[in-house]
Structure 1
Amino acid sequence: MSSVVQRVPAAGSLDALAHFQARLGFETDCADVYYATNHEAKDFVLLDVRTPTLYAAGHVPGAINLPTRMISEPRLADYPAETLFVVYCAGPHCNGANKAAVKLAQLGRPVKEMIGGLTGWIDEGFGLER
């Protein structure tokens, strides 16, 4: 008898490859954001989409606060159309980053979600800015 893990067979290698490669087009993680911010030319804008109060209490260093409800073309006008936005919210229990990504995509803007959000950032041992 197989385990609960194997009761549904794993996808074939080609399907798995396509799936996981595609996910990387939509997501980045805290470690990659940290590394890019500290060791490479930062070629993206990091958006904290939580409320200003939560942002002020602590946020990822270098992040700009733009709550999801405030995302609009006029608010993005200073950024070239090809600017990549990386969005995050509180953590895996929050879908605010997903909602922000939808709004940015609707505006035709390139976007990725920083999976894990602020919780993931802290779990990785990275510091916050206040």
Structure 2
Amino acid sequence: MSPVSAVPAADSAVALTHFSSLLSFETDCADVHAALEASDGLAMDFVLLDVRGPALFARGHVPRAVNLPHGKIVESKLADYPRDTLFVTYCAGPHCNGATRAAIRLARLGRPVKVMTGGVTGWLDEGFHLAIENEALA
């Protein structure tokens, strides 16, 4: 028996519930990129939040992202967005929990939120380019 099969897989119905629910909490770089391409400069149906600090944001970020470091997510910074605005958070990558911290803060404020898995690292791994201009909200 291998370490993989030593713990039995979940029942298929349980697995379906689990894996289906993950998509309620996260999206990936390819889906965000596709949404950016499809919007062709028009308003998107979500706000992409880069939750890293301003210096890292200035060095490169996902196009059309808004910089709002996770520690500065408060209601006053979100006042211009309707209450039902979906926020998608990302940070440096899988080694960073900033996107999760931001998602927690947004959820506590009653805002819809998903995390873009992979962050900047995942974005670059997919072969997508970063923007350099500064569009800071913080």
TM-score, normalised relative to structure 2: 0.92
Distance 1:36 1:124 in 2: 15
Query: What is the DSSP-based 3-state SS (H/G/I as helix, E as strand, rest coil) of the residue aligned with 1:56?
Result: helix
1:68-119 per-position Cα deviation (integer Å, ceiling 9, x unaligned):
1111101000000000000000000000000000000000000000000000
Query: What is the DSSP-based 3-state SS (H/G/I as helix, E as strand, rest coil) of the residue aligned with 1:25?
Result: helix
Please show how residues 97-116 of structure 1 align to structure 2 within 5 Å: 97-116=99-118
Tell me the C-alpha RMSD between the 2 structures: 0.8
Note the residue ranges of structure 2 that are not aligned, 5 or more in a row.
133-138
Please show how residues 8-87 of structure 1 align to structure 2 within 5 Å: 8-40=7-39, 42-87=44-89
Structure 1 residue 39: Cα displacement: 1.2
Residue-pair matches, total: 129
Query: What is the DSSP-based 3-state SS (H/G/I as helix, E as strand, rest coil) of the residue aligned with 2:107?
Result: helix
Distance 2:104 2:72 in 1: 13
Tell me if 1:95 matches 2:97: yes
Structure 1 residue 42: Cα displacement: 1.7
TM-score, normalised relative to structure 1: 0.97
Runs of 4+ that moved beyond 3 A = none
